[in-house]
Amino acid sequence: MLGACEPQTGTAPAEDNGFTAEVATSASLGPFDSHINALAFVPVATVPWEGRLIMAPSTGGLKVIDIEGEEDSQWQGDTINALAAKSGFNLRGLGSSMVLALTSEGTLRTFIVDDARGQLIEAPVSGLPTGGITALCLVRQDEKDPEFLIGQDDKTLAIWRIRDTGDAALKAQKVESGKLSITIKNCTATRDGAIATGDKGGLFSLSLKDKIGMIAGVESAPGKLASLLADGAQVILVSDPTKGNLRAYDANLLPLYTLKAPKALSTPGAANPGALATSAKSFGGSGFSAGLIAVADDSTNRIALVVLDTIPASVKEEDS
């Protein structure tokens, strides 16, 4: 177990720099029957146009849909508040994605989505924490075996690696752990660590190297998180449905700009952004080959798809 550094007390305000950027919505999926709690991409490297999205309706269960919004499979069960998925998981010769889902009761459900049919299949994993879970995200995406950051209500957080050892259940191994002075609620991986929101607000950068601990914190809207690389620079997005926008920060949590995804011609945008997901993988064709960001619209129960490389790294005054 690695030592944890103590975070700074309190958070510094993240002042809005007044810059605004707009991006075009390339496609709009839905509307769906209920509010969308969480989203995750499950790309398929060998057949990019068969890449999919997993969505967690507020009414419970999960749905796997293609990038045109057609349903491939579903699972009926608990209400899910967070999703994390790792594509390219080889399960005994079956190409698939490993999926972890955080329930509203603070427990985990584990699945695979097979690449060929998009079927969502429960896959037991031994060794994972069984309760009190508050945050979940995929980290270290370049690793062969999936690694997930899991936060708990006792303020601990740990990285868990999942492997197929040939036994009846997949096995989880804790590879790093630490403890903070706050409980984290949402998280997203960055190139060098992770970003999380606190259960009482605030946006925090976390170190996952050498020590698991907090680096810095700022005030922020209590929305969902996503991270991406824009022209090689880290950009963190936080949804703010009450203001109808996304707030963009750099790796040091300095505010970059406010991002809007308005209606584009006849394609609905995301007027009230909620759940987010990003993938740098190709989803086929010239339009989606650069990767995608999915933005759930809390006011319409639709999902806006935005091409990833249209998200700017920064905005100048003359651009806003």
pLDDT in tens, 274-309: 999 999 999 997 789 999 999 999 999 999 999 999
- The burial class, CB within 10 Å (0-12 / 13-18 / 19+), for 60 is middle
pLDDT in tens, 221-278: 778 999 999 999 999 999 998 888 999 999 999 999 999 998 877 889 899 999 999 9
Under DSSP, the state recorded for 241 is T
- The burial class, CB within 10 Å (0-12 / 13-18 / 19+), for 106 is middle
Across 92-155, the runs of DSSP E, i.e. the strands, are 94-103, 108-114, 120-122, 125-126, 133-139, 147-152
Number of structural domains in the chain = 1
Q: Is 147 inside a domain boundary? A: yes
pLDDT in tens, 137-192: 999 877 789 999 999 999 999 999 999 998 999 999 999 999 999 999 999 999 88
Do the Cβ atoms of 222 and 259 come closer than 8 Å?
no
Read off the amino acid at residue 110: T
Read off the amino acid at residue 73: S
Angle at 223 (CA atoms; ends 248, 83), nearest 5 degrees: 105
Do the Cβ atoms of 211 and 4 come closer than 8 Å?
yes
Rounded to whole angstroms, the Cα distance separating 129 from 127 reads: 7
Q: Is 13 inside a domain boundary? A: no
Alpha carbon separation from 240 to 74, 221, 306 (Å, rounded):
28, 6, 17
Q: What band does 12 get if pLDDT is binned at 50, 70 and 90?
A: very low
Q: Is 2 inside a domain boundary? A: no
Q: Is 10 inside a domain boundary? A: no
Under DSSP, the state recorded for 252 is T
Q: Is 1 inside a domain boundary? A: no
Rounded to whole angstroms, the Cα distance separating 290 from 282 reads: 6
- Show the domain range for 268: 20-319
Q: Is 99 inside a domain boundary? A: yes
150: which strand partners?
A: 136, 158
Identify the sign of the CA torsion 126, 128, 129, 131. negative
Q: Is 172 inside a domain boundary? A: yes
Q: What band does 115 get if pLDDT is binned at 50, 70 and 90?
A: very high
Q: Is 11 inside a domain boundary? A: no
Do the Cβ atoms of 99 and 110 come closer than 8 Å?
yes
CATH number for the domain spanning 105: value is 2.120.10.30
